[in-house]
């Protein structure tokens, strides 16, 4: 694979007014029990269209031209704490072309997210409201909270007609 690219954009100005609403949606919709292998859960957010509008806008600014296969946008959430904190290395080759992770709430001892780039692990420490945009084939390992503090992120996927390698390089 060619050079992997990760873009980080702050959406603080756009999301600060709805921050508590988004956090409450995530906490209130988190299943009482997560199935084995589930790290995220689908949320029914009244802000999904707005969030995807921001994600698309930033992606179009940063990446090469692309066209969407599907506009049936879904928002996935990850809330980790001392009860829910399973993670693993993964990518999104089977489900998307362009990925986005929006960090809403982080812990005081935040460990960030690891990416495997050119066979080396690189760690990135997000700030609240940071949106990470990266290709589907990029292996990553989201660090989780193992304390009572909740680490909350939203995950977005775009399915494009073009290949990720052509969009990001």
pLDDT of residue 4: 59
Question: What are the pLDDT tens digits along the chain (169 aa)?
Answer: 335 589 999 999 999 999 999 999 999 999 887 766 667 889 999 999 999 999 999 999 999 999 999 888 999 999 988 888 888 899 999 999 999 999 999 999 999 999 999 899 999 999 999 999 999 999 999 998 888 999 999 999 999 999 999 999 8
* pTM (predicted TM-score): 0.93
How many domains does one find in the chain?
A: 1
| Nearest CA among 133, 135, 131 for reference residue 166 | 135
**Domain coverage including residue 86:** 7-30+40-168
79 in a structural domain: yes
* CATH classification at residue 93: 2.60.120.620
pLDDT of residue 165: 94
2 in a structural domain: no
pLDDT of residue 145: 87
12 in a structural domain: yes
pLDDT of residue 81: 87
pLDDT of residue 36: 63
| Nearest CA among 47, 65, 63, 45 for reference residue 11 | 47
1 in a structural domain: no
pLDDT of residue 1: 38
Contacts of 105 (CB under 8 A, 6+ apart): 23, 128, 150, 151, 152
106 in a structural domain: yes
54 in a structural domain: yes
35 in a structural domain: no
């Amino acid at each position: 694979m060619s050079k992997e690219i990760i873009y980080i954009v702050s959406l603080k100005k756009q999301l600060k007014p709805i921050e508590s609403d988004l956090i409450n949606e995530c906490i209130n919709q988190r299943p009482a029990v997560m199935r084995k292998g589930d790290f995220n859960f689908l949320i029914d957010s009244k802000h999904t269209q707005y969030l995807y509008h921001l994600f698309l806008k930033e992606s179009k600014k940063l990446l090469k031209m692309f066209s969407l296969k599907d506009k049936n946008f879904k928002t996935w959430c990850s809330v980790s704490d001392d009860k829910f904190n399973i993670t693993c290395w993964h990518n999104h080759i089977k489900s998307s072309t362009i990925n986005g992770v929006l960090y809403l709430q982080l812990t005081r001892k935040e460990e960030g997210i690891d990416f495997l780039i050119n066979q080396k692990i690189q760690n990135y420490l997000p700030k609240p409201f940071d949106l990470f945009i990266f290709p589907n084939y990029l292996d990553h390992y989201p660090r989780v909270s193992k304390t009572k503090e909740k680490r909350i992120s939203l995950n977005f996927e775009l399915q494009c007609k073009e290949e990720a390698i052509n969009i990001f390089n």
